[in-house]
Amino acid sequence: MLTGEIRGDDGTHPVDIQFFRTNDSMLLGLKRNIPEDVIYDPETGRFVFYATVFAAYDMGNDQPEPGPYQTGSTQIRIEATGFESLALQFFDEMPDVVITLNSK
């Protein structure tokens, strides 16, 4: 789950936003355009987005500590009325983020 704030370069918050996933879940670099659900409050610019990222896991006996040893990311394009679209990577365990969009 990722949380944060989206704002314009002038400090205002977009009226609406859309998230589109542009890579597949196995991170093969395939061009996608998958609409993603996002909860967004235009008054505060706060958003909540739930993403699934790739993780490789090893439980073998020869491992000092079983657990994930590789995690991926999700590549998201953000679109908002009156602003340029922005593509960025979200990784697992990211803290609360602030995303600034450039006005058109």
Summarize pLDDT for 38-95 with one digit per residue, the tens: 999 999 999 999 887 777 766 666 666 666 667 778 889 999 999 999 999 887 777 7
Amino acid at 74: T
pLDDT reported for residue 74: 85
Q: Are 1 and 10 in contact (CB under 8 A)?
A: no
What pLDDT is stored for residue 63 in this prediction?
Answer: 62
Q: Identify the pLDDT of residue 52.
A: 78
Tens of pLDDT along 1-20? 889 999 999 999 999 999 99
DSSP E strands, the chain:
2-8, 17-21, 34-36, 39-41, 46-49, 55-58, 67-71, 73-80, 86-91, 97-101
Tens of pLDDT along 25-41?
Answer: 666 666 788 899 999 99
Q: Answer yes or no: are the C-beta atoms of 99 and 13 closer than 8 Å.
A: no
Report pLDDT for 13.
Answer: 98
- Phi/psi of residue 19, nearest 5 degrees: -110, 135
